[in-house]
């Protein structure tokens, strides 16, 4: 009976964590098979036949399918990075700082993979910016700020392009003159410079970004012949 009680307790705690909260700084282990990745900063966790959307606290990654912003550069890469860390993790834990949901009803939490804070790893690798901070003394905020400063210094990920990442989010329009970003449709065998006027005609669900012309060519695509889109 005692062993059965020990097995059941984590699941009951998780239910309380997700629905009501039970004290500050709860850290609950969740089975890997219960976690699915929505995008770089959002996951879904299924426990006891209920699926909860969890938004990672204090970070923002580029979008992959936003109703207003569509797909943004490095959105797919941020999702792949989060997926990789979760796939490789032997232990996944959710931690809340306080009982809170965002305006979309998503549960807010930290996510730990094998003892590493996933938020910090995203920021460190340049896949996320610090965002939506309401508590200036929030737990892990100092570590996140240090990681962000280092990513900015290295000019990696979202920080490699001037004016792409700002306090209010990511700005694709700031990249129109970038020489090393190319765009293609999943259904096409050609690619265009990101500033080409035909790019806006590509459906968001088919949009693909490449960060060098060699990368685009490796997909067996070739330059488009759209007039006015190429310097040479």
161: closest CA among 74, 228, 76, 230? 74
Q: Is 107 helix (H, G, I), strand (E, B) or coil?
A: strand
- Residue 101 annotated as catalytic: no
User: Measured between alpha carbons, how far is 124 from 139 in angstroms, rounded to an integer?
Assistant: 17
- 10 Å CB burial of residue 226 (0-12, 13-18, 19+) is middle
Please answer whether residues 37 and 69 qualify as being in contact, where contact means their C-beta atoms are separated by less than 8 angstroms.
no
For residue 199, what is the DSSP state? G
- Residue 106 annotated as catalytic: yes
Q: Which of 97, 106, 120, 129 is catalytic?
A: 106
Q: Look at phi and psi of residue 140 and say left if phi exceeds 0, alpha if psi is from -120 to 50, else beta.
A: left
Residue 201 phi/psi, 5-degree rounding, is -90, -10
224: closest CA among 200, 191, 178, 195? 191
Q: Which of 52, 63, 97, 120 is catalytic?
A: 63
Residue with tokens 């065998």: 189
Q: Which of 26, 52, 55, 121 is catalytic?
A: 55
Helical H segments across 127-221, by residue range: 141-154, 213-217
What is the set of active-site residues?
Answer: 55, 63, 106
């Amino acid at each position: 009976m005692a062993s059965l009680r020990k097995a059941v307790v984590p699941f009951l705690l998780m239910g309380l964590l997700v629905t009501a909260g039970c004290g500050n700084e709860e850290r609950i282990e969740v089975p890997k098979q219960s976690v699915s990745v929505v995008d770089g900063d959002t996951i879904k966790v299924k426990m006891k036949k209920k699926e909860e959307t969890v938004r990672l606290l204090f970070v923002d990654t580029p979008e992959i399918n936003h109703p207003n912003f569509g797909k943004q550069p490095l959105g797919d890469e941020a999702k792949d990075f989060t997926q990789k860390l979760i796939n490789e993790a032997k232990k996944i834990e959710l931690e809340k700082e306080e009982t809170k949901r965002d305006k979309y009803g998503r549960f807010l939490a930290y996510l730990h993979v094998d003892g590493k804070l996933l938020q910090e790893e995203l920021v460190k690798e340049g896949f996320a910016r610090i965002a939506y901070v309401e508590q200036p003394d929030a737990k892990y905020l100092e570590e996140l700020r240090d990681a962000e400063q280092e990513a900015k210094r290295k000019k990696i990920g979202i920080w490699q392009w001037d004016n792409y990442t700002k306090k209010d989010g990511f700005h694709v329009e700031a990249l129109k003159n970038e020489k090393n970003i190319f765009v293609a449709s999943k259904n096409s065998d050609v690619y265009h410079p990101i500033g080409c006027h035909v790019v806006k005609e590509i459906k968001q669900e088919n949009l693909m970004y490449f960060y060098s012309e060699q990368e685009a060519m490796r997909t067996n695509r070739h330059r488009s012949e759209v007039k006015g889109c190429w310097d040479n």
